[in-house]
Amino acid sequence: MTTEATSQAKARHANYKRWVWLASIWSWPVCLIGVALTFILIGGFVPPPKPSWTAQEVATFFTADPIHVRIGAMGFLYFSGLTILFYSVISEEIKKIEGQPSLLARIQLGSAVILVTIFQLLGLAWLLCTYRTDVSPDIIRMLNDYCWFAWSMFIPTYIIQYVCVAIAGFMDMREQPTWPRWAAWMNLWIAFGGAGGIAAVFFKEGPFAWNGLIGFWIPVIIFALGNCVNTWLMHRRYKIEQG
């Protein structure tokens, strides 16, 4: 291979790498917009069905207009899958801070895989609720209960994931860190902001229920906005490294 051909090959490689990195960083806003359009606007999953609904009310939600509900569930299934790209960039940024061996990065990415897997299972379960219209309403309600319990209560590995990001922020001694100290504290807030959802199993109404202020709204808002800030911080770090 000639020198010119080698240079062109290296340039193509660098260009591919650049676009993969940027696409992964910005996969979170794409996920957020996609979920908002399909899961919320079309599917009508937000606000969530109330825990106090009867089996027939829950079944009616899924079977009265199954096409829209299916679009919402499929949108959640596919758009939430993009978060693995986003979390992979976070893992690589932690590696740069931590060096080798990079235990925090492995813990963070492993926890992220669990979170994304849960998202996929939720989407599939909600689709299943629309699949057979002749099934007992009690079965549909049980599946829906499982989904919202999973949404609210699969907290342990989620907390671990964002605690790892926060620790990496506190460890970063570079002049222009990926996560400045305030951002490290922000990621701790993301980590523990959803902890109130653990109480959802004890309540069918009120702020701790899966559709309540503490059980749903505060965790979701913190999660969405916090990851938007993390997107901006990682893009800023990318531009710093590119000069």
pLDDT (tens digit per residue) in 116-133: 999 999 999 999 999 988
pTM of the model: 0.91
79: CB partners within 8 A, 6+ apart:
30, 31, 34, 35, 38, 39
Q: What is the pLDDT of residues 89-119, one digit of tens each?
A: 999 999 999 988 899 999 999 999 999 999 9
Q: Is the peptide bond before 47 cis (omega within 30 degrees of 0)?
A: yes
